[in-house]
Chain A
Amino acid sequence: AAGVIQSPRHLIKEKRETATLKCYPIPRHDTVYWYQQGPGQDPQFLISFYEKMQSDKGSIPDRFSAQQFSDYHSELNMSSLELGDSALYFCASSSPLSGTDTQYFGPGTRLTVL
Chain B
Amino acid sequence: QKEVEQNSGPLSVPEGAIASLNCTYSDRGSQSFFWYRQYSGKSPELIMFIYSNGDKEDGRFTAQLNKASQYVSLLIRDSQPSDSATYLCAVLTGNQFYFGTGTSLTVIP
Contacts and interface: CB of A to CB of B under 8 A. Distances in A.
Interface of A: 33, 41-43, 45, 48, 55-56, 58, 88, 90, 100-108, 110
Given A55-B95, A56-B95, A58-B96, A105 B45 contact: yes
A43 B95 contact: no
Contacts of A43: 44, 88, 99
A104 B45 CA distance: 7
B103 to A, nearest CB: 11
B92 interface: yes
Interface string B42-83: 111110010000000000000000000000000000000000
A48 to B, nearest CB: 7
Given A42-B101, A42-B102, A106 B96 contact: no
A105 B95 CA distance: 17
Interface string B21-59: 000000000001010100001111110010000000000
Contacts of B88: 42-43
Given A101-B92, A103-B97, 10 more contacts: A43-B44, A43-B88, A55-B95, A58-B96, A90-B43, A101-B32, A102-B34, A103-B46, A105-B36, A107-B43
A45 B97 contact: yes
Nearest to A50: B95
10 closest Cβ contacts across the A-B interface?
Answer: A42-B99, A105-B43, A42-B101, A105-B44, A108-B43, A56-B95, A43-B99, A107-B43, A101-B32, A101-B92
A59 to B, nearest CB: 11
B96 A56 contact: yes
B82 to A, nearest CB: 19
B44 A90 contact: yes
Nearest to A44: B99
A110 B32 CA distance: 29
A100 B49 contact: yes
